[in-house]
């Protein structure tokens, strides 16, 4: 009887029936909001007043009078870019009514004032609900779709149904929205094309050494550890926007880790394995290839988190293998980690663990969906409109090709990372986690550090990235770039886009850093180069992959990056 009871409790536990905790969250919301009738009344009065103003606006415009709009889309909201949303009164009213109502709903959610993690989840889910109900997402309330339907006599909707059927088949019954014309890209042919060779490999990664494009190179090699949540060629998309090609052209001997796309056979691989087989074996391989024991290193996103752990380990054991470290959009203190914390409470982690243990990994599509939800209007609903309502094919865009080329996560590594860092924030605590039997203490890192962050980053918010400035004990340079998690990093000087902020000081709070920072137009890459080359030693003869102790295994970009 006891076994039966335990079995039933397990099978009907809240984490199984409601893995996202919506029932509990809804109850907490209503319990909180019922205690604040004044706040609810104030929101109702505001909405009624705004709707009355909207009615007056409609009456004026209907008789040809000039009138100021009651509300307008936020800057950067591209849903209502079609002129009809402003020029035609009916659609203008639909747009403004939606914006007023959505603001009302979001304000009601914000009035709950729940515990911070619960409040963030409530706000996030409310935003998902509001975005899904946008009039742009429905054929009868989207003027662009209506015009296309009339002009093509419904052919757009017929094509949209074909596109929908295709995406359902591709997702094996689950909708997998096509975002890019994949037929236009081939890894190694027109994407990830910087010349180089794979000179080392193990179960978790291949190490690529890039061919020089200058006669002389800096003595100290540059080693890049990208995130394993996506593939490394975000740093080598096309020649005109390749960070790797640009770094090679500046005279650096560049190596990069290309992580494997793990299957069930690697389910046992841990965060510690990624540290040992990813960071430390790569450093040994670079030494064998170049004869240089000391390198400069870059860590991108979770690759940077891993690099920080490695630097702490080396500092604790007295190893001097990395002269300087650059971190792209890297978090090590996860106390303000942004909307991704919505997916990392204990109930959801238990549900995720059960799912991953069945197959040994987190499926790539599930990870991709999570990231896309952070920018649902741009990465979900815009494609729903384009593919299924307008009946168009997705464009050929290298960044979206990469974004759709996701990787799997081994169960042992991923659950450790989410629980110990995102949920418990133990990396920021000296000795909070132990790797290879050595307590991790980021305060022991005393080498020069360059922290890159991005103003509109939804994955690694810049206030969260900035917290690292107060953890490392060596000289820290913090830089804030324009745009987001990807475009804020991939911003070649030739594009002359965006901007960045610099400041020679790192006060405790990022708001104070911004207040006294200097503004610069364009790419931050040259600024970083000026920081790094001084730490890269004298110039030596250019190194050819395969000339050292490591023989060439195959041409870049290698086999691992093409694994699906």
Contact (CB, 8 A) for 281 and 209:
no
Residue 10 confidence (pLDDT): 46
Verify that 100 and 202 share a domain, yes or no.
no
User: At which of 112, 137, 162 does a domain end?
Assistant: 137
Verify that 322 and 468 share a domain, yes or no.
yes
User: At which of 137, 154, 177 does a domain end?
Assistant: 137
Is the bond into 255 cis (omega within 30 degrees of 0)? no
368 located within any domain = no
- SS3 of 2-67: the string is HHHHHHHHHHCCHHHHCCCCHHHHHHHHHHHHCCCHHHHHHHHHHHHHHHHHHHHHHHHHHCCCCC
55 located within any domain = yes
Verify that 121 and 240 share a domain, yes or no.
no
Residue pLDDT, tens place only, 153-190: 999 999 999 999 999 998 888 888 999 999 999 999 99
Residue 104 confidence (pLDDT): 96
Verify that 237 and 120 share a domain, yes or no.
no
Contact (CB, 8 A) for 100 and 50:
yes
Verify that 226 and 306 share a domain, yes or no.
yes
Contact (CB, 8 A) for 256 and 224:
yes
Cβ neighbours, 10 Å, residue 271: 23
171 located within any domain = no
Residue 269 confidence (pLDDT): 96
Structure pTM? 0.91
Verify that 214 and 69 share a domain, yes or no.
no
244 located within any domain = yes
Residue 15 confidence (pLDDT): 53
Contacts of 336 (CB under 8 A, 6+ apart): 461, 463, 464, 467
68 located within any domain = yes
98 located within any domain = yes
Verify that 309 and 441 share a domain, yes or no.
yes
> Could you list the residue range(s) of the whole structural domain that residue 122 is in?
21-137
301 annotated active-site? yes
Verify that 114 and 217 share a domain, yes or no.
no
User: At which of 137, 158, 182 does a domain end?
Assistant: 137
168 located within any domain = no
Number of domains in the chain: 2
Contact (CB, 8 A) for 357 and 415:
no
> What φ, ψ does residue 453 adopt, rounded to 5°?
-140, 170
148 located within any domain = no
What are the pLDDT tens digits along the chain (564 aa)? 445 444 444 444 555 567 777 888 899 999 998 888 899 999 999 999 999 999 999 999 999 999 999 999 998 899 999 999 999 999 999 999 999 999 999 999 999 989 888 898 999 999 999 999 999 999 999 999 999 999 999 999 999 999 999 999 988 888 889 999 999 999 999 999 999 999 999 999 999 999 999 999 999 999 999 999 999 999 999 999 999 999 999 999 999 999 999 999 999 999 999 999 999 999 999 999 999 999 999 999 999 999 999 999 999 999 999 999 999 999 999 998 888 888 888 888 888 888 888 889 988 888 788 888 888 999 899 999 999 999 999 999 999 999 889 899 999 999 999 999 999 999 999 999 999 999 999 999 999 999 999 999 999 999 999 999 999 999 999 999 999 999 999 999 999 999 999 999 999 999 999 999 999 999 999 999 999 999 999 999 999 999 999 999 999 999 999 998
Give the active site residue among 301, 340, 411, 459.
Answer: 301
Verify that 131 and 244 share a domain, yes or no.
no
Verify that 133 and 200 share a domain, yes or no.
no
Verify that 315 and 440 share a domain, yes or no.
yes
Cβ neighbours, 10 Å, residue 206: 24
Over the Cα atoms of the chain, what is R_g? 26
Residue 3 confidence (pLDDT): 53
Residue 225 confidence (pLDDT): 98
64 vs 203: CA distance, rounded Å: 71
What CATH number does the domain containing 442 carry? 3.40.50.1820
Residue 6 confidence (pLDDT): 47
Verify that 323 and 457 share a domain, yes or no.
yes
Select from 324, 315, 132 the least CA-distant residue to 218: 324
């Amino acid at each position: 009887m006891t076994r039966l009871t335990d079995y039933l409790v397990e099978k009907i536990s809240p984490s199984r029936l409601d893995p996202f905790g919506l029932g509990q969250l809804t109850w907490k919301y209503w319990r909180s909001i019922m205690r604040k009738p004044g706040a609810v009344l104030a929101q109702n009065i505001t909405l009624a007043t705004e709707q009355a103003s909207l009615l007056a606006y409609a009456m004026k415009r209907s008789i040809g009078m000039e009138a100021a709009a009651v509300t307008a889309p936020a800057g950067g909201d591209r849903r209502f870019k079609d002129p009809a949303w402003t020029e035609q009164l009916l659609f203008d009213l639909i747009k403004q009514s939606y914006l007023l109502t959505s603001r009302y709903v979001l304000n009601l959610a914000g009035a709950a004032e729940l515990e911070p993690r619960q409040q963030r989840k409530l706000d996030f889910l409310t935003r998902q609900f509001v975005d899904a109900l946008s009039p742009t997402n429905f054929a009868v309330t989207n003027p662009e779709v209506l015009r296309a339907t009339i002009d093509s006599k419904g052919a757009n909707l017929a094509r949209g149904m074909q596109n929908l059927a295709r995406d359902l088949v591709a997702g094996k019954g689950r909708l997998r929205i096509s975002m890019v014309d994949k037929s236009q890209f081939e890894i190694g042919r027109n994407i990830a094309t910087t010349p180089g060779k794979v000179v080392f490999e193990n179960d978790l990664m291949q190490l690529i050494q890039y061919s020089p494009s200058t006669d002389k190179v800096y003595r100290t090699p540059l080693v890049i550890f990208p995130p394993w949540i996506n593939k490394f060629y975000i740093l080598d998309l096309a020649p005109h926007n390749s960070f790797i090609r640009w770094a090679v052209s500046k005279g650096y001997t560049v190596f990069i880790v290309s992580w494997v796309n793990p299957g069930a056979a690697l389910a046992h691989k841990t965060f510690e394995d990624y540290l040992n087989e990813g960071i430390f074996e790569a450093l040994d391989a670079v030494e064998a290839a170049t004869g240089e024991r000391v390198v400069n290193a870059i860590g991108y996103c979770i690759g940077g988190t891993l690099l920080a752990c490695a630097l702490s380990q080396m500092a604790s054991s007295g190893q001097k293998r990395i002269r300087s470290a650059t971190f792209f959009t890297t978090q090590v203190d996860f106390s303000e980690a942004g909307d991704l914390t919505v997916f990392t409470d204990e109930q959801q982690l238990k549900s995720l663990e059960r799912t991953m243990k069945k197959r040994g990994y987190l499926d790539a599509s599930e990870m991709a969906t999570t990231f896309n939800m952070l920018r649902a209007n741009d990465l979900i609903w815009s494609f729903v409109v384009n593919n299924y309502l307008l009946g168009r094919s997705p464009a050929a865009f290298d960044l979206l090709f990469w974004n759709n080329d996701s990787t799997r996560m081994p169960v042992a590594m991923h659950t450790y990372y989410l629980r110990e860092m995102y949920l418990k924030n133990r990396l920021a605590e000296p000795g909070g986690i132990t790797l290879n039997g050595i307590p991790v203490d980021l305060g022991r890192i005393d080498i020069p550090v360059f922290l890159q962050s991005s103003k509109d980053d939804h994955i690694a918010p810049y206030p969260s990235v900035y917290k690292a400035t107060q953890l490392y004990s060596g000289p820290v340079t913090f830089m804030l770039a324009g745009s987001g998690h990807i475009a804020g990093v991939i911003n070649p000087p030739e594009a002359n886009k965006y901007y960045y902020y610099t400041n020679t000081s790192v006060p405790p709070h990022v708001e104070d850093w911004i207040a006294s920072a200097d503004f610069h137009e364009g790419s931050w890459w040259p600024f970083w180069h000026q920081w790094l080359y001084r730490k890269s030693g004298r110039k030596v003869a250019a190194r050819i992959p395969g000339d050292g102790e490591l023989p060439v295994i195959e041409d870049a970009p290698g086999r691992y990056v093409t694994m699906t």
